[in-house]
Amino acid sequence: MSHNGESTFSTWAQPPGKTESERIDRAINAVKNALQADERLRSKSKVFVQGSYRNRVNVKQDSDVDIGVLYTGNAFYPDYPEGMSHSDFGNIDGDHTYAAFKDEVEQALVSHFGRAAVKRGKKAFDIHENTYRVDADVVPFFEHRRYSRDGSYVCGVQLFPDNGGKIINWPERLFDESHWPNQHYENGVSKNTDTGRRYKGVVRILKKLRNAMEDHGIAAANPISGFLVECLVWNTPNQCFSGISWEQDVRSCITHLWSNTKSIEECNEWGEVSELKYLFRGSPDSKRQQAYSFIAAAWDYIGVES
């Protein structure tokens, strides 16, 4: 790796500068204004920021912002224990559907930004950037409830892509109540505090490292998402973040990840940052193999000594 490791890593560890952050904030406010202007959505939706910007692990090349829009009316999607259903918990069908809500969000965005600025994707609406704001991905969500047999439940968010299937996420505690436990955002804050504010810096470094590897034609970097990078660093023990130097922290993390992603047995218990979903379980083992290939290539790229 042809650079001064510590100097480069120190730069990479920092979040985007003030100008870029201001453009992100303007995009968030513009989406909030679009939904506030719609009578149907004003009182039945909650806008929240998710993804790398909310979790403070964004880097400049990935500076588009992910914005969630949660339906807050009388409807949710449950996940019941095997053999149980609505009637066991006294629930009734909701008064709205996800498909109708997504169409309403689209109409509000188009009304505010204009049709040419809004592209409907399978999961999100892409609001094109301009000189004033960054690109924004707006994702409609319904509440998801994961029930236990005793009637208690924890809340996350759920979406249905246009091409079928469903996706459940656990971005953060959206309401101050026991049904919304600490999730991705809160866990990241805790680990960052416990590591002397080194955790998020290392996540940014590895994301920038992934980008640099991709720029240099290293194929192992291509399938790796920023979210996966964040989850890998999340599963690195706190003692790897010594605070002596960024270079030592990065090398310690990569060494741990290289050793523990060689086989599924070593990382079978690893979770996403929310700790409400397993990172590799339920996925084809290709996901773990891609992670290992990326870490091994990063090992070679920065010259980690075994």
Query: In the predicted model, is pLDDT for residue 235 greater than 60?
Result: yes
Task: Please give the average per-residue pLDDT across 184-206, as a whole number.
Answer: 95
Query: Is 117 exposed, middle or buried (CB count within 10 Å of its CB: 0-12, 13-18, 19+)?
Result: middle
Shared domain check, 249 and 147: no
147 and 192 share a domain? no
Domain extent at residue 29: 16-181
Same domain, 70 and 169: yes
Two tokens, residue 290: 């891609």
Please tell me whether residues 175 and 237 are part of one structural domain: no
Please indicate, yes or no, if residue 11 is contained in any of the structural domains: no
Q: Is the confidence at residue 27, as pLDDT, over 90?
A: no
Residue 6 lies in a domain: no
Is pLDDT above 80 for 140?
A: yes
Higher local confidence (pLDDT), 42 or 61: 42
Contacts of 292 (CB under 8 A, 6+ apart): 258, 261, 262
Domain stop point among 181, 216, 236: 181
pTM of the entire predicted model: 0.86
Q: What is the pLDDT of residues 269-293, one digit of tens each?
A: 999 999 999 999 987 799 999 999 9
Residue 234 lies in a domain: yes
Same structural domain, 136 and 202: no
Torsion angle (degrees, nearest 10) of CA 92, 95, 99, 100: 180
The predicted-structure confidence for 79-116, as pLDDT tens digits, reads as follows 999 999 999 999 988 889 999 999 999 999 999 999 99
Tally of domains within the chain = 2
pLDDT band at 129 (very low <50, low <70, confident <90, very high): confident
The residue from 154, 181, 208 where one domain ends is 181
283 - beta bridge partners?
none
**250 and 234 in a common domain:** yes
Final residue belonging to a domain, choices 181, 206, 233: 181
Same domain, 172 and 201: no
